[in-house]
Amino acid sequence: MKPSQLNTALKTLIHIKQPVFIWGPPGVGKSQVVSQTTQQMGLNLIDVRAVLLDPVDLRGLPYIDKNQRVCWSPPDFLPKKGSGILFLDELNAAPPLVQAACYQLILDRKLGEYQLPEDWSIIAAGNRETDRSVTHRISSALANRFVHLKFDVNLEDWLNWAKKNNQSEEVIAFLKFRPALLHAFDPQKNEKAFPTPRSWEFVSHILSGRPDKALEFELIAGTVGEGAAAEFSGFSRIYRNLPNPDMLLSSPEASEVPEDPATLYAVCEVLASKANKQNMAQIIAYANRLPPEYSVLLVRDAVKTDKGIVDTEAFNEWAATYSEVLI
């Protein structure tokens, strides 16, 4: 299930208060999808890292009331009012006794004397057992308390997220060129650094810090692994030596059209990021000189930058010319 589908599924399950467990490999953005969904629904989010808990942390501490009875004082992190999501992240990394303490909370919405408020829902997440992460097999009794959803990485969803969250245009252009490197995790290799949506976000942050050029490769290799870093560095050399996009737009019919696929991808990304109603005629003029697949790539990404360009005469003429390709 890709992130956008997971977002829709979560909204349905949250509405009916059905507990759900999200399964996925490390670094794909499980926690971010939960956070984005709660924000869109206007709910509160309490993120509890189950792996850090002891069984007594959930039950709370005992005390003696005025009638000399032993009662339990629930922990402060459990919600007491309002509406929201109680997110039990890394639940299957928690020891079995902690998982057992969650049974009643997840199924009956109670924990001893504590009652989960009516307008709160429970979501859990964890890595798959095949990922060789630190996990404990959850019992069938606990597993049966959830609806289980599998998280799949999707390039288009990630690109949409990246543009909205000001990720590096260089990283975005590279992953369009090498989509297989968005997530290239092989648990058999036991690598410490490997490409994931989360690690590419780290690369964007590294680039925004303008690192020393002599150290840049090592920093990126330490984030996504040496293989992906080598490919990214080669692409970056092309990307950073592209002609100024304003020059391309000033003479779109005379500017050079690269033959190298990586350079073409980079040029399309740079021009698309500058698109607006005012320069759409120049962008279309350049797009008409590209191979069909790159022309579609350029215009499609330009529309994502400014949806208003679909109302321009230049876009409509281009769409009529490429109607068979678009269909």
Domain ranges in the chain? 3-150, 155-239, 245-326
Q: Is the pLDDT of residue 71 over 90?
A: no
Do 264 and 290 meet the contact criterion of CB atoms below 8 Å apart?
yes
pLDDT for res 146: 93
In terms of DSSP bridges, do strands 20-23 and 147-150 run parallel, antiparallel, or are they unpaired? Answer: parallel
User: Model confidence over 130-182: pLDDT tens digits?
Assistant: 766 667 788 888 888 899 999 999 999 999 999 889 999 899 989 988 999 99
- The secondary structure element, H or E, covering residue 247 is helix 245-250
- What is the DSSP code (8-state) at residue 23? E
H-helix or E-strand spanning residue 25? none
- pLDDT, residue 327, reads 53
Residues whose CB is less than 8 angstroms from the CB of residue 119 and which lie 6 or more positions away in sequence, other chains included: 82, 83, 84
Phi, psi of 252 (to 5 degrees): -65, -25
pLDDT at 83: 93
Q: Beta strand 120-126 with 84-89: parallel, antiparallel or unpaired?
A: parallel
At residue 64 the predicted structure's pLDDT band, cuts being 50, 70 and 90, is confident
pLDDT value at residue 325? 66
At residue 321, does pLDDT exceed 80? yes
How far apart are the C-alpha atoms of 37 and 68, rounded to whole Å? 45
Mean pLDDT of all residues in the chain?
Answer: 89
pLDDT level of residue 46 (50, 70, 90 thresholds): very high
Q: What is the DSSP string of 41-108?
A: TT-EEEEEEGGG--HHHHH-EEEE-TTS-EEEE--TTS--SS-EEEEEETGGGS-HHHHHHHHHHHHH
Tell me if 84 sits within 8 A of 126, measured CB to CB: no
Q: How many other CB atoms are there within 10 angstroms of residue 136's CB atom?
A: 17
For 227, the enclosing helix (H) or strand (E) is helix 226-239
Report which of 255, 317, 254, 251 is spatially closest to residue 279, judged by C-alpha positions: 251
- Range 3-150: architecture per CATH: 3-Layer(aba) Sandwich (3.40)
Q: What is the pLDDT of residues 4-31, one digit of tens each?
A: 999 999 999 999 999 999 999 888 999 9
196 pLDDT above the threshold of 80: yes
Contacts of 42 (CB under 8 A, 6+ apart): none
Comparing CA positions, the residue from 163, 198, 179, 185 lying closest to residue 273 is: 163
Count of residues making up the chain: 327
Q: Are 147 and 18 in contact (CB under 8 A)?
A: yes
207 sits in which H/E element: helix 197-208
**pLDDT class of 308 with cuts at 50, 70, 90:** very high
Q: What does the block give as tokens for 13?
A: 């399950």
- What does pTM read for this prediction? 0.79
Query: Is residue 208 very low, low, confident or very high in pLDDT (cuts 50, 70, 90)?
Result: very high
CB contact set of 265 (below 8 Å; sequence gap of 6+): 173, 176, 177, 294, 297
- Cα Dmax for the chain: 90
Using an 8 Å Cβ cutoff, are 58 and 52 in contact?
no
Q: Is 147 helix (H, G, I), strand (E, B) or coil?
A: strand
Do 195 and 182 form a contact (C-beta atoms < 8 A)? Answer: yes
Q: Give the H/E segment covering residue 273.
A: helix 261-273
